[in-house]
A and B are shown apart, each in its own frame.
Chain A
């Protein structure tokens, strides 16, 4: 196949997906973006941003959402890297088994998974019963309807995504690179941080972005595990758009979500640590 034919074939293969994304993702997104800069008469304005961003409740909810995302994402990295490292190094059969186990939670509904947490974290759930059996608490601890419950729920929800992304990144790192580092005197930990992490950094960025974005935009988990007292950006956006019919505020919140994610993604790409 000559160069021209290859290009044409690749274009043809990409085209259906690209058209789908253009029509059903980019165009609506642009509408939302454009709408957030218009007033009731259709004139360009930043007034909506002023109104939403200066609102104390919004700032409170935004900082809470950011805090939750900034807790869940590093935890997913910490738990995901060792798992991915082990999975990549397993023989094919066991690797497939473990990969299936990682994928399994993704094949169940987030609603079902989140409801399971209600049972686990409830006053008479497994966690509280264990704490009481170990005599660590006298009375059942309040675990549900807290930020902690949302963190746990989101971590369970997004950890498989982080593991899958890191597995894919680490699979592209040749085995002998680590061996070379070890033979040159590096410790296992040193070779992990100074060789494996830099070589899988792009996968890490992707995993971090996916988990962080998921945390910022998740609706079901915060709504069920946080209840109505612990609002996050997504639950606030629903309240503004679907209850108060304040679509203007809803669009601004949507744009704030997108911008926050883009800032993180590009920040990680641009400010790549020097030794990576």
Chain B
């Protein structure tokens, strides 16, 4: 009897051991699947702004976690878009980051493809509007941004409206985003709202842009250019992309940001899977990493990207520098990327007619 009990106990121990072994084998298998990316490369097409911080918060942790090498292709939207279209037949990009109408252009040109939501564990943690801003699951808004207005408090009177951009006292000290940038076209909508009370009265917006053109010192193509213009005291007033605020603030000049009476422009920077990627799983893993709590928090704390996740709670002194908080978020106006993409060529012509001639 004791022998039987002993054998039964041994069997139970063995069974328990097997169950334990099986239970511990699962994570090993999972680690094994992560390990299978070891030595692989992932090509990301993205902006170069704040690259040191992006490397610290996003790229290096991902490389270390999965043992992969990330190749970064930097440039503004239009340059990277053109490169990807030119290489459409032999694509190199696994993950592409675009903003504004360029993301829609990327869909239209077939250089990005729909993502697989089942591979993204962090997708549901995002604002609903960020989960599929273009429709068709082509892109995810991984960070929310806004086009703010900043001015030098020691040089110009208070700015309270987009109409103030036409004021005489800022003539020659205004810089605006170039028409081909993410926020270039949105300026027209805001001018239309400011003077006609209707975002869609863009004829008025263009008329007003022509009127305030003499005030414009130059239109900036990259946020780093605006940064230089402000730092060198060439520009006192400018609509700025919120992700550049950290660097603009670091100039130490007496600058103030405002929420004008017509509100601000909101937008998402979007991440997508490259249409020709042969590394779908790793591409999704990277996107999921970008959406993770840790990355979104680190980016916010460094004033690089405002969180698209709803569960990020920031200290007040950090949040006030980002697209964050009820007051600011409720002032944002979002515009159709599809419409802006369709109007792009016509609007560049209108822009050139004003500024080139």
Q: A228-B218, A229-B219 are in contact. Are A245 and B85 (CB under 8 A)?
A: yes
Contact among B82, B219, B228, B233 for A228, CB-based, below 8 A? B219
Judging by beta carbons under 8 Å apart, are A243 and B348 in contact?
A: yes
Interface hits, B67-85 → A, CB 8 Å: 78-79, 82, 85
Q: Are B348 and A244 in contact (CB under 8 A)?
A: yes
**Segment among B133-141, B260-268, B349-357 that sits at the interface with chain A:** B349-357
Q: Which residues of A contact B218 (CB under 8 A)?
A: 145, 227-229
**Inside 8 A of A118's CB, which chain B residues have their CB?**
228, 232
- Cβ contacts under 8 Å, B356 to chain A: 57, 60-61, 229, 231
User: Using an 8 Å CB-CB cutoff, how does the interface string of B158-190 with A read, 1 for contact, 0 for none?
Assistant: 000000000000001000001010000000000
How far, in whole Å, are A145 and B85 apart by their CA atoms in the complex?
32
- Cβ of B286 to closest chain A Cβ, rounded Å: 26
Contact A57 B353, CB 8 Å, known A242-B78, A243-B82: yes
Q: Which A residues touch B318, using CB under 8 A?
A: none
Q: Is the CB of B345 within 8 A of A244?
A: yes
Contacts of B355 in A (CB 8 A): 228-229
Whether B234 pairs with A242 at a CB distance below 8 angstroms is no
In the complex, number of A-B residue pairs with CB atoms less than 8 Å apart: 57
Q: How many residues of A contact B (CB 8 A)?
A: 22
Question: Is B47 in contact with chain A by the CB < 8 A criterion?
Answer: no
Q: Does A48 contact B (CB under 8 A)?
A: no
Give complex CA distance A56, B356 in Å: 10
Measured CB to CB, the residues of A under 8 A from B are 56-57, 60-61, 118-119, 122-124, 142, 144-145, 227-229, 231, 239, 241-245
- Complex formed: what's the CA distance from A241 to B85 in Å? 12
Chain B residues with Cβ below 8 Å from A227 are 217-219
Given A60-B356, A145-B217, A242-B78, the answer on whether A124 and B233 have CB atoms closer than 8 Å is yes
B93 interface residue per 8 A CB criterion:
no
Interface class of chain A by DSSP:
loop
**Which of B78, B216, B234, B348 contacts A122 (CB under 8 A)?**
B234
Task: Write the nearest CB–CB distance from B31 to chain A, whole angstroms.
Answer: 44
A-B contact pairs, 12 of them (CB 8 A): A57-B353, A57-B356, A57-B357, A144-B234, A228-B220, A228-B221, A229-B218, A229-B355, A239-B180, A242-B78, A243-B82, A243-B348
A56-B357, A61-B356, A145-B218 known; A228+B178 contact, CB < 8 A: yes
Write out the residue numbers on chain A whose beta carbons fall within 8 Å of the beta carbon of B233: 122-124
Expressed in whole angstroms, the Cα–Cα distance for A124 and B235 within the complex equals 12
Alpha-carbon distance A124/B233, docked complex (angstroms): 8
The 4 A-B pairs of least Cβ separation, nearest first, read A227-B218, A228-B219, A243-B78, A145-B218
**Taking the nearest CB of chain B, how far is it from the CB of A173, in angstroms?**
45
In the complex formed, the residue of B with least CB distance to A227 is B218
Chain B 200-240: CB-based contact to A (< 8 A → 1; otherwise 0): 00000000000000001111110000001000111000000
**Do B357 and A60 touch (CB < 8 A)?**
yes
Closest Cβ of chain A: how far from B251's Cβ, in Å?
A: 13
A228 partner residues in chain B, CB cutoff 8 A? 178, 218-221, 355
Given that A228-B355, A245-B82 are contacting pairs, would A123 and B232 also be in contact in the complex, using a CB cutoff of 8 Å?
A: yes
A262 CB → nearest B CB, Å: 26
